[in-house]
Homo-oligomer: A and B are copies of this chain.
Amino acid sequence: MSQFEQFASDNYSGVCPQAWKAMEAANAMPEPAYGEDSWTLRAADSLRALFDADCEVYFVFNGTAANSLALASIGQSFHSVICHELAHIETDECGGPEYASNGSKLLLGEGADGKLTPDSIEHLVTKRTDIHYPKPKALSLTQATEVGTVYTPEELKAIKSVADTHRLNIHMDGARFANAVAALDVHPSEITWKAGVDVLCFSGTKNGLAMGEAVVFFNRALAEDFEWRCKQAGQLASKMRYISAPWCGLLENDVWLENARHANACAERLASGLAGIPGVSLRYPRQANGLFVTMPDSVQEALRARGWRFYNFIGGAARLMCSWATTHERVDQFLADVRELMAQCPADQILRTA
């Protein structure tokens, strides 16, 4: 068993075949640099077609950059961004958004299952309006969330309403946007521009690319001079076709959606299997491609001793991420191991974590 062909992260996986093939095709001949190649145009057009919108599209290297630069395009350094307290931009970007914006603060909201509520947003905007408090200008939603849940179109519309009241632009961190679309089974437009999203950071990396995220501005005014922002920030790939061609591979024949559906299905298979094991429970509802599993520390340790890899989330839950490359076979092996180890686990240890 490969040491890493498992559940640690959807960014441990490699490049999916269709993306690889497109990258190979792009390598066949020289092309102009800095995005003036034919692949980049085609990838951007494909995204416009996918979203059925005349949006502006830019490709950057990774998610930190996509989110940080997109947020910086909404507000100034003295503005603030409202996000959930568990949002990746708060917990795992090492101050990336603050750096790109030269100092914007993130205001941390709350909500069950990792989802910001309209009330929490309202509270953060209205509790203070003095100049000592950075003026809220942007709202950042993660779809799917850090804990594997998704905002429904209705939830997004309720949020849009409070955003409009307070003139907040909406940014969507779509590190697992494809998984959210697959989970909700909606047209991508339903949870983006039709729900009021101004700019989406659509991840290719977690969906089967080597690297490369699309920053999609449905609100074109926010995209003004964005190419200069990318250039200055070190996010303009000179040989951009190596990012955009794989995107073409993902977008053709809805490979991106198939990849996401597969990952979600693997997660569901895991969830179903775990549901039948006493003493094991899910901390959040399984909706996309990730699970947060409460089980005894000793069992987690034993799983790792058998070669399984996964991270721990706040509170000790095991985070299991599935990707386009996860196999049913591995899922079943993992379930078998959990079952076996839980059966051997002393009852008092199980009680402690229940």
Interchain CB contact under 8 A, B29 and A79: no
Which residue of the partner chain, among B31, B77, B96, B325, contacts A4 with CB atoms under 8 Å?
B31
- With both beta carbons as reference points, the residue of chain B lying nearest to A209 in the complex is identified as B239
Interchain CB contact under 8 A, A28 and B12: no
Question: How far is it, in angstroms, between the C-alpha of A61 and the C-alpha of B212 when the chains are bound?
Answer: 11
Taking CB atoms and an 8 Å cut-off, the chain A residues in 40-68 that contact chain B are: 60-66, 68
- In the complex, besides A61-B234, A64-B232, A65-B234, 15 extra interface pairs with C-beta distance below 8 angstroms are A4-B31, A5-B30, A8-B33, A11-B238, A11-B239, A62-B236, A62-B237, A64-B231, A77-B99, A78-B225, A94-B231, A96-B233, A100-B234, A132-B231, A211-B242
| Residues of A in contact, count (CB < 8 Å) | 74
Question: How far is it, in angstroms, between the C-alpha of A34 and the C-alpha of B79 when the chains are bound?
Answer: 19
A-B contact pairs, 15 of them (CB 8 A): A12-B31, A62-B234, A62-B237, A76-B225, A77-B102, A78-B228, A78-B231, A92-B133, A93-B231, A95-B104, A95-B232, A99-B233, A102-B102, A210-B239, A211-B238
**0/1 string, A126-144, CB within 8 A of B gives 1:** 0000011111000000000
Q: Does any Cβ of B come within 8 Å of A153's Cβ?
A: no
Question: How far is it, in angstroms, between the C-alpha of A94 and the C-alpha of B61 when the chains are bound?
Answer: 18
**0/1 string, A1-16, CB within 8 A of B gives 1:** 0101110110111110
Q: Which of A28, A92, A233 has the most CB of B within 10 A?
A: A233
Residues of B within 8 A of A93 (CB): 132, 231-232
Measured CB to CB, the residues of A under 8 A from B are 2, 4-6, 8-9, 11-15, 20, 23, 26-34, 60-66, 68-69, 76-80, 91-96, 98-105, 131-135, 205, 210-211, 225, 227-229, 231-239, 242-243, 325
Given the known interface contacts A27-B14, A28-B14, A32-B4, the answer about A131 and B325 at a Cβ–Cβ threshold of 8 Å is: no
Residues of B within 8 A of A13 (CB): 30
- With both beta carbons as reference points, the residue of chain B lying nearest to A2 in the complex is identified as B29
Given the known interface contacts A11-B239, A237-B211, the answer about A98 and B105 at a Cβ–Cβ threshold of 8 Å is: yes
Interchain CB contact under 8 A, A134 and B78: no
Interchain CB contact under 8 A, A79 and B233: no
Interchain CB contact under 8 A, B234 and A96: yes
Interchain CB contact under 8 A, B27 and A4: no
Interchain CB contact under 8 A, A232 and B103: yes
